Structure 1
Amino acid sequence: MRVPKFIRDNLLLKMTSLNAGVIGLRLVISLFVQRMLAQLVGETGIAKIGQLRNLLQLLTSIGSAGIFTGVVKYVSEHRDDKEQLRKLFSTSFVFVLLGTMLSFMVLFFGAGYLSQLIFDSLEYAYLIKLTSVIVPFIALERLFNGVINGLSKYKQFAKISIVSYVISTGLLVLFLFQYNIDGALVAIAITPVIQLIILLLVFFKVLREYVQFSELSLKIPLAKSLLAFSLMSFFSTVLLNYVEIDIRTMIKNRITEADAGIWTAMTNISKNYLVFSNAIFSLYVLPKFSGIHTQKGFKRELFHIYKTLLPLFGIGMVVVYFAKEYIVALIYPGFTEMVPLFKWQLLGDFIRLASVVVAHQFLAKKLVRSFIFTEVFSLALFFGLARYFVTYYGVEGVVMAHFIRYIIYFFVVLFLVFRYFKKQKAKH
C-alpha cells in the first residue's frame, strides 16, 4: 500500500504510523494476556506481577548503569567517528560490568530480604535469585538497544519489538497454565533473555559494524560524560520504580491487596499505550533535540512534535475514556473499581506526554541538575500526594495524585528549559 505523501515527508509521522501498527498488535495481544491473568490470578496476582515488573525495570537501569540515554545521544552524534564510538563502548562495557556485578550481589545474597520487602513473603526468594542471574542479559539488551535507537533504525526496531513480544507472551501463557502465578512470574523474569537473543539475531551485523568488540578495552575515557546519564537514570528510572513498589505496598497495607491490584491494572492499561510514545522519544525526540542549539529551533521542533503527537493521543484517550466500562469488562472482568480511575489517569497521562517531550531537552543537553531536580520534585510530589489522598479517596486518590503531579511538573520543566536558552543567549 502506498504511503500518503504528507506521511512520507514527515519523519515523525512515519515513525508514528509504523509504531502505531506495532503497538496496535501489541495491544491486541496484551488485552488477551491481561484478561487471562485477571481471570486466573485475580487482583492479588496482578499486584505481585506489578511488583516484579517494577523490580525488572529498576534492574534495567542499575544493571546497565543507567547509560542508555547517553549511548543513544553519543551514537546519534558520532555514528561516523569510529574512534569516538570505540571510546564510548569501552566505557559503556565497564559501566555495565560494574552495574551487573553490584546488582547480582545485592539480589543473590539479599534474596530473602527483598522477597519480604517486595512481596511481603519469603516464598519468592527463589525468583529474586533467578532474576540476579538474568541481570547481565538485561544490561546487554539495554546497551545494544541504545545503539539501535541512536542509529534511528526504527523499522528494524519495530520488527524486533513485536517478535520478542510475541515470543515472550507465548512463554508467559504456557507457564501461566502450567504453574499459575509462579509460572507467570518466572516467565516475566526470563523475558529479557528472549529480548536479547532476538535483538542479536536481527542486528548482529549492525552491532558488529559499530561496536568493534575486538578493540574494546576496560578503560573509561568517557566516564565523566556517561556518569551524568547514570545519575539522571538513577533519579528517574530507579526512584520511579522504587516509589511505585512503595505505593503499591502502601495501598495493600492501608486498604487491601486487591486495591493494589486495581491500581496496578490501571497503570498496566496506561503503560500499554504510553509504550508507543516511549519509542518515539528515544528514536526521534532525543536525537533531534541533541542537534538543536537555539531557542527558535527548539520551539519550532517542539511545536512540530506537539501538533503531530498530541492530537493523535488526545483522540485516542477520549475514545478510551468513553469506552472505559467496555475496556474493563473486556480486559479485567470483575475489576469494576477501576472505572472511576480512568479520568484522572488519562488526564495525567496526556499532560505527562506534553511534559516529557520538553523534559527530553535536559537529556539532549545533559542538563543534569535540572533533570535531577525535576525528577525528584515530581516523584516526591506523587509520593506525598498519593499518601495524603489515599486516606480520603482510597485508591482513586493515587490517580488523582498522578494528575496533579504532572500539571505542576509541566510548568516547572517548561520554565527551566526556557531559562536554559536565555542563559545560552546571554553568553553569546
Structure 2
Amino acid sequence: MKIPQFIRGNLLLKMTSLNAVVIGVRLLISAVVQRLLTEYVGPVGQYKIGQLRSLSLLLMSVTSLGTFNGVVKYIAEYKKDQIKLQGLFSSVFLFLIIGTSITATTLLTFSSEISSYLFSTEEYSYLIKLTAVIVPFIAVQRVFNGVINGLSEYKKFAKIDLISYLFSAFLTVVFLFQYNLDGVLVAIAITPILQVSVMLFVFYKVLREYIQFKSLTLKAPMAKALLAFTVMSFVSSILLPIVEIDIRSMLDEKLSGRDAGIWTNMTFISQNYMVFSSSIFTLYVIPKFAGIYDFKLFKKEVISIYKTLLPLFAAGMILVFLFRNVIIDLIYPGQVEMAPLFKWQLMGDFVRLASLVLAHQFLAKKLVLNYIFTEILSLSIFYGLAYFLVGKFDVEGVVIAHFIRCLITFSVILYLVIRYFKKRENNLETN
C-alpha cells in the first residue's frame, strides 16, 4: 500500500504516521502486561514498579551527565564534520566514565538507604546493587539514542524502539510468572542490556561511521558546550523523577499504597501516549529549531507542528476519555478510583504537549536560564499543589495539580520565547 502524497511530502507527518504504528503496537502489548500486573501484584506492587521506573529515568540522565540533548543538537549540526564529531564523542566518553563511576559507587554504597527511600524497606537493596552493575548500559543506551535522534533516523529509531519494547515486555511477563513482583523489578532493572543489544544489532554500521571508537580519548574539547545541557538535564531529568518518587511516597503515607498505585497507573497510561510525541521532539523539533533564528519562520514552523500534532492528540485523548471505564475494566479491573483522574490528566497533557513544542526552542538554542526557570517553576507548582490538594481531593488532587501547572507553564514559556526573538531583533537593529 502506497503512502498518500500529503504524508510523503511532509517529514513530520511521515514520522508521526510511522510512530503511530509503533505506539499502537506498544499500547496493545502494554495493555496486556498491565492487566497481568494488576492481577498478580495489584496497585501496591504497581506503585513499587513506578518507583523503580522513576529511578531508571533519573539514572538515564545522571549516568551520561545529561549529555543526551547536547548529542542530539551537535550531531544534527556536525554530522558532516568528522573532526568536530570526534571532539564531541571524546567529551561524551569522558562524561560517561565520570557519570557511571559516581552513580555505580553511590548505588552500591547506599543501596539499603535508597531501597528504604523508594520502597519504605531495605528488602530491595539487592535490586539497587543490581542496578549499579547495569549503570554502564544505561549510559551507553542514552548516548546511542542521542545519535539516532540527531541524525533524524526515524525509521531505525522506530524499529529499535519496537523490538526493544517487545523483548522487555516478554522478559517482564516471563519473570512475573516465575518470580512475581521481584521478577518484574529485576526485569525492569536489566532492560537497558536488551536495549543496547538491539541498538548495536540494528544501528552498528551507522554508529561506527559517526563514532570512531578506537580514537576516543580522555579529553573533553567540548566540555563547556555540553555542560550547559548537563545543567538543563539535571533540572528536568533528575528533579522530575525525584518529585514523582516523593509524591508516590506521600500518597502511600497520607492515603495508602493502593492510592499511590492508582496514580502510578494513571501516569503510566499518560506516558504511553505522551511517548508518541517525545521521539518526534528529538528527531524533528530540536534539529529544526536549531537552524531557525527568524521569528516569522519560527512562528510558521510552530503553527505547522501544532496543525499536524494537536488535532491527532485531541482526537486520541477524547477517545481515551470516552472509553476510560472500558480501559479500567480491561487493564485495571476493580480500580474504579481512576475514572475521575482521566479528565484532569488528559487536559493537562494536551496543554503540556503544546508547551513542550515551544520549550524545545530553549534546548535548540541552548537557552539555559530560560529552560531551568520554567522547569523549576513547573515542578515547584506541581509539588506544592499536589501536597495541598491531596488533603482536599485525595488522589485526584495530584492530577488537578498537574493540569494547573501545565496551564501556568505554557503561559510562561510562550512569553519567554516571544521575548527571546524580540531581544534578538532589537540587537540586530542596534548593530
In which range does the TM-score fall when normalised by the shorter chain? over 0.9
What letter is aligned with 1:253?
A: E
Partner residue, 2:134: 134
Deviations 1:243-289 (A, max 9, x none): 00000000000000100000000000000001110111111111111
Counterparts of 1:89-128 in structure 2 under 5 Å? Answer: 89-128=89-128
Is 1:192 aligned with 2:189?
Answer: no
Distance 1:102 1:289 in 2: 34
Partner residue, 1:297: 297
Distance 1:335 1:96 in 2: 42
What letter is aligned with 1:230?
A: T
Distance 2:125 2:404 in 1: 37
Partner residue, 2:206: 206
Counterparts of 1:199-348 in structure 2 under 5 Å? Answer: 199-348=199-348
What letter is aligned with 1:68?
A: F
How far the C-alpha of 1:109 sits from its partner, in A, is 0.5
Distance 1:315 1:202 in 2: 33
Distance 1:132 1:218 in 2: 23
Distance 2:309 2:321 in 1: 18
How far the C-alpha of 1:214 sits from its partner, in A, is 1.6
Partner residue, 2:17: 17
Deviations 1:153-207 (A, max 9, x none): 1001101111111011101000000000000000000001100000011111000
Distance 1:336 1:83 in 2: 58
Query: Which secondary structure state, in structure 2, belongs to the residue aligned with residue 293 of structure 1?
Result: coil
What letter is aligned with 2:394?
A: G
Distance 1:164 1:380 in 2: 34
Partner residue, 1:383: 383
Counterparts of 1:52-71 in structure 2 under 5 Å? Answer: 52-71=52-71
How far the C-alpha of 1:34 sits from its partner, in A, is 0.3
Distance 1:92 1:111 in 2: 27
Partner residue, 2:170: 170
Distance 2:114 2:317 in 1: 37
Query: Which secondary structure state, in structure 2, belongs to the residue aligned with residue 100 of structure 1?
Result: helix
Query: Which secondary structure state, in structure 1, belongs to the residue aligned with residue 66 of structure 2?
Result: coil
Report the RMSD for the aligned CA atoms in angstroms.
Answer: 0.5
How far the C-alpha of 1:215 sits from its partner, in A, is 1.5
How far the C-alpha of 1:80 sits from its partner, in A, is 0.1
Partner residue, 1:365: 365
How far the C-alpha of 1:216 sits from its partner, in A, is 1.3
Distance 2:342 2:216 in 1: 49
What letter is aligned with 2:239?
A: L
Query: Which secondary structure state, in structure 2, belongs to the residue aligned with residue 137 of structure 1?
Result: helix
Partner residue, 1:398: 398
Is 1:418 aligned with 2:413?
Answer: no
How far the C-alpha of 1:213 sits from its partner, in A, is 1.1
Query: Which secondary structure state, in structure 2, belongs to the residue aligned with residue 130 of structure 1?
Result: helix
**How many equivalent pairs are there?**
428
Deviations 1:303-323 (A, max 9, x none): 000000000000000011010
What letter is aligned with 1:29?
A: I
Query: Which secondary structure state, in structure 1, belongs to the residue aligned with residue 302 of structure 2?
Result: helix
Is 1:183 aligned with 2:183?
Answer: yes
Query: Which secondary structure state, in structure 2, belongs to the residue aligned with residue 283 of structure 1?
Result: helix
Distance 2:277 2:196 in 1: 22
What letter is aligned with 1:227?
A: L
Q: Which runs of 5+ in 2 are unaligned?
A: none
Partner residue, 1:355: 355
Q: Which runs of 5+ in 1 are unaligned?
A: none
Distance 1:421 1:353 in 2: 21
How far the C-alpha of 1:340 sits from its partner, in A, is 0.4
Distance 1:186 1:162 in 2: 21
Query: Which secondary structure state, in structure 2, belongs to the residue aligned with residue 312 of structure 1?
Result: helix
Distance 1:293 1:303 in 2: 16
Distance 2:75 2:297 in 1: 22
Distance 2:321 2:145 in 1: 33
Query: Which secondary structure state, in structure 2, belongs to the residue aligned with residue 152 of structure 1?
Result: coil
Query: Which secondary structure state, in structure 2, belongs to the residue aligned with residue 221 of structure 1?
Result: coil
